[in-house]
């Protein structure tokens, strides 16, 4: 019996059970919620995948809109992001490739954040395309990381994407998320601060943050990824 397309799309979003952990010194937990309960799919996506040299790609993205139309675009972007990551692995280059693809096609825009984690050194290098800042939690609390230059994907063919880097120590964690967790009419800074407070309250169990997030805050698709360095 052929599965309904919505179930195929949901499987492509979640890929249950395929999160590489042991070899990379990282624990990853993710929660995705669709704005369309009938299709259980949407325009948000995440990736946690191995790269050449023993590194790990962590990424979250958000296609404008929601429902099956956005989910179809999400599938294309998710697979394209994985392909660019395998061929180059550099976060800014990944976003540059996605932007060029969307600008050639036209009519589709998206935001994304892509990060490369190097387990041997603990270095995290990231780039953003019109996306909300990564949160990092440590013994000193939870704070947003600086946002490198980068506009929304699919807007300008010659857009430039910057990069930044930080060292993630054992016990530290990062949070990647989409704007579906920000309440309607709530200033973005306030929504980010609220998520940071929830992450701080989760304390020594960062994955517990996923239980406290209001995924219906914006009436949009929402995705939250938490990655903790465990060694």
pTM beyond 0.85: the answer is yes
Q: What is the pLDDT of residues 146-168, one digit of tens each?
A: 999 999 999 999 999 999 999 99
Choice between 20 and 65, residue whose per-residue pLDDT is larger: 65
Residue with the two structure tokens 């294309």: 76
Domain 5-229 is of which CATH architecture?
4-Layer Sandwich (3.60)
**Residue 28, CA distances (Å) to 59, 108, 207 in order:** 11, 29, 8
Note the pLDDT tens digit of each residue in 168-180: 999 999 999 999 9
Split at pLDDT 50, 70, 90, the class of 21 is low
Lowest-confidence pick of 19-23, 47-51, 97-101, 212-216: 19-23
Which string of DSSP letters, residue by residue, matches 141-182? EEEEPP--S-PPBTS-TT-----EEEEPPTT-EEEEE-GGGS
Average pLDDT on 99-103 reads: 97
Q: Where are the domains of the chain?
A: 5-229
pLDDT tens sequence across 126-142: 999 999 999 999 999 99
Interval 2-21 mean pLDDT: 43
Res 19: pLDDT: 52
Assigned token pair, 95: 């976003």
């Amino acid at each position: 019996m052929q599965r309904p397309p919505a179930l195929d799309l949901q499987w492509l979003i979640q890929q249950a059970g395929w999160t590489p952990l042991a070899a990379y010194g990282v624990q990853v937990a993710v929660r995705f919620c669709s704005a369309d309960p009938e299709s259980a799919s949407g325009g948000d996506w995440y990736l946690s995948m191995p790269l050449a040299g023993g590194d790990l790609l962590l990424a979250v993205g958000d296609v404008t809109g929601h429902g099956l139309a956005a989910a179809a675009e999400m599938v294309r972007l998710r697979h394209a992001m994985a392909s660019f990551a395998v061929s180059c692995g550099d976060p800014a280059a990944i976003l540059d490739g996605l932007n060029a693809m969307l600008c050639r096609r036209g009519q589709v825009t998206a935001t994304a954040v892509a990060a490369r984690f190097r387990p041997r050194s603990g270095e995290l290098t990231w780039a953003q395309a019109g996306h909300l800042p990564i949160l990092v939690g440590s013994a000193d609390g939870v704070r947003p990381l600086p946002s490198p230059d980068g506009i929304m994907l699919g807007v300008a063919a010659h857009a430039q994407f910057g990069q930044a880097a930080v060292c993630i120590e054992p016990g530290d964690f990062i949070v990647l998320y989409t704007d579906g967790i920000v309440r309607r009419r709530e200033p973005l800074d306030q929504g980010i601060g609220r998520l940071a407070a929830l992450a701080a309250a989760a304390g020594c169990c960062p994955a517990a943050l996923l239980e406290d997030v209001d995924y219906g805050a914006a009436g949009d698709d929402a995705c939250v990824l938490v990655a903790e360095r465990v060694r």
